[in-house]
Amino acid sequence: MKEINDLILPEEVLYADDHEWARMEDGIVTIGVSDYAQDQLGDIVYVELPDIDDVYEKGEEFGSIESVKAVSEMYMPVGGKVVEINSDLENSPELINQSPYDDGWIIKVLPDDENELDDLLEKDAYIAMLKGSE
């Protein structure tokens, strides 16, 4: 497993306490799991995705990731309607391991309230949280 200093944690994304990330672009929030989460899970073998047009509240479970080690639920960092899913993950779930912020994104959401992004952590705060849990 990676040391915290070796993790890829882009500045332009926000992080949830339970290791999802969110990036707002043109009114749409792209959501995935952090490099820390994919590293902890190990080799990802399956991703359970929601359906397009599903609506979730912030904090609600929207799917799960199965690795050779465990199954882990994913939770909405913001509430809203799913407008796109990364269907590439159905046949290539390992994209999350290879590129968690680019090819390994999971869903895109039209947020109910953009202000919910304010509750998420910036990179430095997320790193501090990770160090506190060691």
State the pLDDT at residue 134. 58
Per-residue pLDDT tens, the chain, 134 aa: give them: 999 999 999 999 999 999 999 999 999 999 999 999 999 999 999 999 999 999 999 999 999 999 999 999 999 999 999 999 999 999 999 999 999 999 999 999 999 999 999 999 999 999 999 999 75
Q: What is the pTM of this model?
A: 0.96
Give the span between the Cα atoms of 28 and 111, in whole angstroms.
Answer: 7
State the pLDDT at residue 133. 72
CATH class of 4-132: mainly beta
Long-range CB contacts (within 8 A, 24+) of 89-96:
89/47, 89/49, 90/47, 90/49, 93/44, 93/45, 93/46, 93/47, 93/65, 93/66, 94/43, 94/44, 94/45, 96/32, 96/33, 96/38, 96/44, 96/47, 96/65
State the pLDDT at residue 118. 97
Where are the domains positioned within the chain? 4-132
CA-based Rg of the chain, rounded to a whole angstrom?
14
